[in-house]
A and B are shown apart, each in its own frame.
Chain A
Amino acid sequence: MNKLIFILAEGFKNVWRHKSSAVSSVFSIYLTLIVSGSLLIVSQNTNKLIEYLRDKYKIEVFFKDSVTEKRVEELTADFKSINGVNSITIISKKDAERIFKSQFGDDILSILGYNPLPISCVINLKKDWPSRIDIKPIISNLRKYREVDEINHQGKLISRIENYYESFLEIMVVIVSITLIIAVFIISNTVKLTILSKKELIRSLQLIGATKSFVKGPFIIEGVVHGLLATVLSFYTIIGVLNFSKYFIYDLTRFDIYYDQVFIFQVLLSLSLLVGFIGSNRAISRFLK
């Protein structure tokens, strides 16, 4: 316990002792977090957009004239068990007649003398898919039913939107990974410079019987404290910029930027602790080899 207290105290004191390297280390983590935080907000808002679009995805199924309403009810109950289907609305012949009238202004019964519009149903898809929505299996499942006459869907549009979304997610992962790797290298090199200037301390600690973890501890704590400082700075920068610009962006685009402050803070904190820990551990471990 006493050792742990000493390691923690040394780590915090080192932040003050190595002020100049602390500034460059905090600044590099800060920049990484600004980039990552911005990407996170873009990603959250893209998610919101894709969920909105997915909400609009529909498949229209038209049944043959011979199919009764009772049979349609049975069939739609079956359709609900197809993977990816969220809800189904049945459009009876009467509903179809009403829709026709509301869309074209004419009563089809008075024009033709009978109602030729078939019973149909509208299938709404689930919007919270873990990856891209693929409607092909749903369509081929529906086609298996001989009662189904025609299926209308926005397959190509869905596919295009999902392709864009998939590419976007891939690019995001690459950018965040590259940013994090660069940050780890910068922090690692900053800590390495600090360590080189602390050679004497490390040597003394080793000679008086300090274990590897005892020598490493204060440097890792120092890296983590740099991460914490960078988290607070980057969080307030991002939130400040968002608060300042969200009304401006809404006026321009009618798009209300969505962001969850707690989630942003949690992500920034996790990233900074990870980068601070890996960066300092990497530097000191290489030195102690």
Chain B
Amino acid sequence: MINIDNVSYSYKKGGGVSNINLTIQDGEFVFLIGPTGSGKTTILKLLYMDLFPKAGKITIDKFDSQSIKKRKIPYLRRRVGVIFQHYHLLEDRNLFENIALPLHVLGYDKEEVVELVNESIDEIGLSGKESHYPHELSGGEQQRACIARALIKDPEIILADEPTGNLDPVASFELIKLLEQISKEGTSILMASHNYNLIKSRGHRIVEMQNGSVRQ
């Protein structure tokens, strides 16, 4: 379970979030919507503890932002999969190596890595493209690779920051369907988006942000 308790954060140059309260249950799919600069990315960064609240507390299972030690943050992040609008795939590594990276961090052996990565590539429909580098894949393919990389470590939570931002409507729709399928298997998902039309009819909870606050 994720709990955001009266959290505020402000950047030196202005902006941020104030007095955010939000709880996400295990396996719940929540959309975070709002215009650019409304604080969606800040919330996600606070959740994977790239930023720490100036006030309030974030709790993710046994980890909380007030007491977590710096060296323990990697262990929290191993339970969280992060998907970005700009994919963040490594340009000097092929599709296989990109998806395999989290497994190496977790210490899987070579045979397991090969088996799990091939399975994952098959699931996202990119079989045969294992040795392709990111620049040889389309935007949709790169985003699927990014999702595969986030999912391969079997995270309990997925944080998706505008994952459809660079995708055409068909690819966006397929991505949402893929995330819904993952959510049904028990993974909590918080997906930030400013595309209301894409998410309005999906039947999930929608949290609306405006000027750094949750709109009631």
Contact = CB atoms under 8 A, between A and B. Distances in A.
A212 B105 CA distance: 11
Contacts of B75: 209
Contacts of A2: 104, 107-110
A51 to B, nearest CB: 53
Contacts of B153: 208-209
A208 B102 contact: yes
A204 B71 CA distance: 17
B88 interface: yes
Interface in A250-279: none
B119 to A, nearest CB: 18
Most chain B Cβ neighbours within 10 Å, of A6, A200, A203, A212: A6
B82 interface: yes
B74 A211 contact: yes
B90 interface: yes
Contact of B77 (A3, A17, A201, A207): A207
B101 interface: yes
Contacts of B110: 2
Given A207-B48, A207-B82, A209-B78, A200 B105 contact: no
Contacts of B90: 200-201, 204
A206 B107 CA distance: 15
* Residue among A2, A6, A200, A207 having the largest count of chain B Cβ atoms under 10 Å: A207
Given A2-B108, A2-B109, A208 B101 contact: yes
Contacts, number: 56
B168 interface: no
Nearest to B105: A210
A204 B88 contact: yes
Interface in B71-126: 71, 74-80, 82, 88, 90-92, 101-102, 104-110
A211 B48 contact: no
A205 B107 contact: no
Contacts of A209: 74-80, 102, 105-106, 153
Which of A203, A204, A205 has the largest count of B CB atoms less than 10 A from its CB?
A204
Contacts of B57: none
B104 A206 contact: no
B149 interface: yes
Q: Report, as a range, how many residues of chain A touch the other chain.
A: 10 to 19
Contacts of B80: 209
A207 B149 CA distance: 11
B91 A204 contact: no
Contact of B71 (A1, A6, A200, A211): A211
Interface string B140-171: 00000000010001000000000000000000
Interface in A1-20: 1-3, 6, 17
A208 B106 CA distance: 9
Contacts of A210: 74, 105
Contacts of B108: 2
Interface centre among A2, A3, A203, A208 (most CB of B within 10 A): A208
Contacts of A211: 71, 74
A208 B78 contact: yes
Interface of A: 1-3, 6, 17, 200-201, 203-212, 214
By Cβ-Cβ distance, the 6 closest A-B pairs, closest first, are A209-B78, A209-B77, A208-B102, A6-B104, A209-B74, A3-B107
Interface of B: 48, 50, 71, 74-80, 82, 88, 90-92, 101-102, 104-110, 149, 153
Given A3-B104, A209-B105, A214-B105, 9 more contacts: A2-B104, A3-B107, A203-B88, A206-B74, A207-B50, A208-B101, A208-B105, A210-B74, A214-B74
5 contacts: A200-B90, A208-B149, A209-B78, A209-B79, A212-B74
